[in-house]
Amino acid sequence: MGRTASRMSVALALCLPGAAQAATDEAWSRFRDDVAAACLAEAAPLLEDAVATVDPFGSPSFGLAVVRGKERGGDGWAMVVCVYDKRTKSVEVGSAVREEED
């Protein structure tokens, strides 16, 4: 291996640990709190007394949650799927899906 290739290997090895390091538990906890708060706010016009169940890590690009609550203007329970863009922090929810009673 030549001198240049050897230096590049060392430089790459020094960079990889920082790039591969996972986020801290505290950072993931803040992420989940942010997703829950954003999703609950976005679902508020559709659901009341809502609770968000957040995917602990989401996908590589998105935070994901299911928000369940009492359907506004109705007498039953419903849920919405919520998608939180990790980069822009924008949020979208789907339409309310009514839960069927057994």
Residue-wise pLDDT tens digits, 35-90: 999 999 999 999 999 999 999 999 999 999 999 999 998 889 999 999 999 999 99
E strand segments, the chain: 47-54, 62-71, 77-85, 91-93, 97-98
* Rg of the chain taking only CA atoms, in angstroms: 21
Q: How far apart are CA 36 and CA 38, in angstroms?
A: 6
Q: 45 is written with which tokens?
A: 């016009």
Q: What pLDDT is recorded for position 78?
A: 96
Strand partners, 48: 70
Q: How far apart are CA 2 and CA 19, in angstroms?
A: 26
